Structure 1
Amino acid sequence: MMRRVAITVATVAALLEGGAAMRAGAAARRQASAFRMVAALDRPIVQTVESLIEMPNKVPNRMFNKAKLKMPLNGIEPVGEGDADKDPEILPVREYEEPFFSYSDFSSQIGGFTKRVTKGSNCTGRVILLQPSGALVDIGTKSNALVPNSEASLTQVDDLSTIFELGKSYTFEVITSEDENGQLQLSRKRLMYAEAWNKIDALLAEDAQFETVVNSVNRGGAVVIIEGLRAFLPGSHLVGRTASEDMVGQKIPCKFLDVDKENSRIVVSNRRAVVDKEMKDIEIGQVVDGVVTAIKPYGAFVSMNGVAGLLHISQISSDRVTSLEKTLPIGTKLKCMVVSQDASKGRLALSTKTLEATPGEMLRDPEAVFNNAEQNAANYLQRVEAERKAREAAAQEVILGLESALSGTSATDNA
């Protein structure tokens, strides 16, 4: 009977020791899991969690080995630091609710140290990893956010390292809510798009000239890039060339033809940019070189470095012109004098009659007119200036005569 009792006591003791070991092991595993999560976070959070946790039993741990439970846990009395070889004392089993730190405590505490961002808001984040699917960004939330390749830039790029620098911070727009893993998706593209349109609005308000880069060509013209946005350049508004593949990558000066922000449509003109530049350099009385590009019943159109001017039939010669086609066939190179201009509309009025040394010379010997164009133009301008001064002098004499006559009449009346 005594033998059976001894076995029973030993058995109970072994079972209790085994149960204690199992409970201690489970507690250690839960604790280690929690600490692994904490170790991945910043030190301020570790310190906060450390202040919350009282260790449930003596479990070796590199991070926290000084805290000890102050009450029995399921009948096991914890031992002190110097009692490693002492057997635990068997005490009555007592159950405690929440015997130590729980995951709900952990989650609530971590939430106080993380940012809360919402869809549609802007945030600043540091790029920490570039991968095939996009860029991972640390924005201070529980999980790193993702910038998909399609949202990284205004134009599609194959290598994210060309637009993102590891470790550098950028501003993004939050475009999704958190998924099941707590991850948000961000966009750099949408902020760049808004910024690009702000710049285009400013250029449009000033009617400014800007530089574009040819992205591709098609039958109608070329697709160019301005401030990262695509714009259409009609072939009819290219100066001195036609749209071809060798233009891709080239820079072309342009001005706006049409802008529709609501429909994201931009049409530009190289001709407008060239004309505006040339018009600034052209003065009335200047002799310019040009080529006849079109014949109309009322005159010939002449192109000068992309600027078109009208040589009216009445300004070709002092003598009557009977056939424009015979006098100035299309493709004829000639010299003309600028007699008027409208810079706002890009219009020039030209004349070859003012370059004639004698009336009708343009019809008899146009080459002589062109060879002596500069000298004949200077002579013409001198004649015009002399005539202007003569008219002013004549007008002044008339005014003086009228004043004298009025003075004489007044004196006679007074007498």
Structure 2
Amino acid sequence: MTSHSPYATDLSDTRLPPPGCPAHQDACHITGDDLRHDPAAFYEARRRAYGGVVPVVLDGVFAWLVLGYAELKEVTQRGETFTRDSRYWRPREGSVPEGWPLEPHTVWRPNAVFAGGEEHTRLRGALTRALGKVKAQRVRRSAVETGHRLIDTFVGAGRTDLLARYALPLPLLTLMRLFGFPPAAEAPLQRAIAALLACGDDAPAAARQVMDIVTGQVRRRREEPAGDLTTWLIQEHDAMSPGMSRDAVDTEIREQIWLTINAGHGATAVWIANAIEQLVSRRDVQAGMWAGWMDVQGALRATLWERTPLQNVIGRWATRDVVVGGRHIQAGDMLVLGLAGANTDPCHGSASDRADFATYNEAFFSWGNGPHQCPVPDLAQAIARAAVECLWDRIPDVHLTDPGRPVEWEPGIMMRCPRALPVSFDPAQPHAATRRRAPTGGC
């Protein structure tokens, strides 16, 4: 990765106070293990020590972790100063360590995530128009049918791992149906996406495999259009790119599909898993569901406040020297959006105050903010709600197999995800799927 920006940034008129941040060597070092057990306490300790903008070192790479609610809103709304285009990055170390595990999140790609200005408007517009053609009823029906199909594979056993057998595959299988992928692509795409999200040694090969599968789907829909997202993306990009070559247009389409599947599957799957973790491990949540003062939508909303799936996001890059939260940020510095930290900002009140409004308040940062916020949160909500409702309706007595053993969490800077969700239930009690297969309404 290059250590300089390809863009010229005019700093001749910059007038800044003396740097007000600790030296690089005094920055807070963060690893995935630091956030495993009690991330809220971790964020609060750093907030007390550093304020809303924390100098951090992530596995050897310097960045700014934005934890303050007001500071995060400022960064995400000032697109010209804090760009999503990672080609602006100038690492303070001069280069990125070989094999840095978070590098896949920083590599520029020609899609709406890394674009800015008019290019971002163009690419995001095509994506949102295509996604806008997907009816909520269709999304829900697909997620419901997928949920029943997955539950049918383990419902007779009386126990399962709901992470591996339900939460992780359901959003991907639903999205694949919406994009019109053939059934033969399901298994290889599931394996490749899982390897890619793990950011392990086989992630680069997995990324190439995902792109190969997506390339084949775009080629297939060029020859045989259908009523699916792939076809609609092709139509949108063809209409807005009359002067571009077919290869260039298809490259953009592949990147848009890559973006939607990776973002839509990863975050939605972990959102479902974290909501299920609350349902099977917290008696107050279960009691609320049974008593009727909490519904699935409220539980999902509370999960985004308390266990948001994307707890930290890379990121933004400063296009000029600037001061945020009293910190002197240099042009080319990387910023990490601390979504979970902002959700626990004391500006929302105490933890008990947040618990009171978490089931109905949507002021969280889980969808992002500003020009790059999630373009279609309704799609993710439809999938997550259908998944949790199906599980709750089909297996109402589901509980942790070992209630005395706390759920273990994956070590990770970016995602907040359980390692497994081992549950048990009475195999004689689950409701029959045939009684609950409705295209609209409940499962």
- Shorter-chain TM-score category? under 0.3
Instruction: Considering Cα pairs closer than 8 Å and 6+ residues apart, tell me whether 1 or 2 has the greater RCO.
Output: 2
Q: Which has the higher strand share?
A: 1
TM-score when normalising by structure 2: 0.18
Q: Which has the higher helix share?
A: 2
